[in-house]
Structure 1
Amino acid sequence: MIIKLDQKLLTDMPDLKLGINYYTKITVAESPQMLKGRLQLFQEQLFFELEDKAFSEYSGIQEWRNVWKTFGADPNRYRPSVEALMRRIKKQNYIQPFHSAVDLNNFFSLQYEIPVGIYDFDKTVGNIHATVGAEDEGYEGLNGRFNSLSGIVLLKDDYSPFGSPFVDSIRTSVTQETTAALQVFFIRPSMDAEEALELTTSCANMFTSISGGDSQSYVIHSDAPSVTIDK
């Protein structure tokens, strides 16, 4: 499988980067109490922080709102997923534990202030590329409705779009039956490739410490716009 960044993305935003973790032989299950506790505590700390801090003061949110604008989408209508999480927390509508993969994903997203997606690798078809959504592109999302992805960075395989920094699709969602997964970090454009790889690898180590299995970590960017993964 080849995962690559579309040249259109890099022409309009040369600093765009994606961190990629490929997991195999993992076990997705109820999160250990340690992870549940950390996620809850982190949200409570953010709630108090958000009483005096605007969303625009979080550099990760601001950078991804700028990505939206660069490609023609409205960040006030379709918010980056990390901002949507923060807005829930500000209302004390805390994210409840779901399973280890989703809980870790939410933790990483809040910790690094970036959108993070995780997908069942065996539900993807053929190669994957990141591109800009066309007017007619969208999918049934995990938010329970059809989502238009016009002007939004999206991930698509040889079958259809399935992921984005806005909301992910039902088609490739991770369940407790998932044994191989693809995790995508929508890196802040200001972060250099070396730091991005450190972030991606660190998250992989935490993920496998909880879910077991093996991981391979990559970053695709303008100087290395594609990676090949052996299934």
Structure 2
Amino acid sequence: MKLNVQIDSGVLKRVPSFKVGAVLYKGIQIADSPQMLKGRLRLFQEALFFDYADRSLEDEPVNQEWRDTLANLNPSFTGRQTSHTRMLTDIQQNRYLEPADSATDLSRFFSLKYAMPVHIHDARNLKGPIHIALGDSKTLITVSAGDETFGSLSQYIHHHPVSADTKDALQLVFFRPSVSKNEAHRLLEALTKMFEQIHGGEHVSAVSP
């Protein structure tokens, strides 16, 4: 298995400590989430509901960090909500994420737990190096393979979703800039360990740059 992730220099000029974790899984089996994962996702959202019941989401340090980061990537983002803030807003209003499938639910759980976007794609038709570049006001960051742009930081573009037929998958983790590279590797190790406990298979991973 090979994994080649390239981050465009324009991204690193805007956010020098920008980091992406990438995982290529092979031979996995995606299905409905096991009860353990459904329960953890639900309980964690309920805990967040009580944690943020009387707090301003915009004032939370992680939300401020993401807001500043996205504004640096694209100044037109200024004044908009981040995806993490939107998820927490839904939870504040008692609108919880419903189970989708085991791979999506696990990605969402880690995204909420560590305040970082975690996206997963069916890798069957992805060819060539993964290239990460500046996008527009809607995408912010684009993710491409070969001539195809298949994903974005904002998930405005999200092609090749996983399904029960997925055997190979690409998972992307967009770390907060304040997360050190050592911590990024530790978080990625925790994610892949839990992912393979549920889905089987094998993987290669990398943190770039």
Fold match (TM-score > 0.5): yes
Match of 2:192 in 1: 204
Quick one: which of 44, 47, 64 aligns to 2:46?
44
Separation of aligned partners in 2, 1:94 and 1:105: 15
Separation of aligned partners in 1, 2:184 and 2:30: 25
Match of 1:163 in 2: 151
Q: Which amino acid aligns with 1:24?
A: K
Q: How big is the shift at 1:3?
A: 1.4
Match of 1:91 in 2: 93
Q: How big is the shift at 1:102?
A: 0.4
Q: Which runs of 5 or more structure 1 residues have no equivalent in the other structure?
A: 136-147, 222-231
Report matched runs for 1:152-231 at 5 Å. Answer: 152-167=140-155, 169-221=157-209
Q: How big is the shift at 1:117?
A: 0.7
Given that 1:119 and 1:173 are in contact with CA atoms closer than 8 Å, whether structure 2 keeps it comes out as yes
**What's the TM-score, normalizing by structure 1?**
0.83
Separation of aligned partners in 1, 2:37 and 2:78: 30
- The alignment of Structure 1 onto Structure 2 pairs a total of residues equal to 206
Given that 1:81 and 1:165 are in contact with CA atoms closer than 8 Å, whether structure 2 keeps it comes out as no
Q: Does 1:125 find its partner at 2:113? A: no
Quote the sequence identity (%).
Answer: 35
Given that 1:102 and 1:118 are in contact with CA atoms closer than 8 Å, whether structure 2 keeps it comes out as yes
Separation of aligned partners in 2, 1:82 and 1:194: 23
**What's the TM-score, normalizing by structure 2?**
0.91
Q: Which amino acid aligns with 1:45?
A: A
Q: Which runs of 5 or more structure 2 residues have no equivalent in the other structure?
A: none
Deviation sequence 1:141-162 (CA, Å, 0-9, x none)? xxxxxxx32xx12212223322
Q: Which amino acid aligns with 1:98?
A: A
After TM superposition, the runs of 4+ consecutive aligned structure 1 residues lying more than 4 A away are none
Q: Which amino acid aligns with 1:155?
A: V
Separation of aligned partners in 2, 1:176 and 1:75: 38
CA RMSD, 1 decimal: 1.7
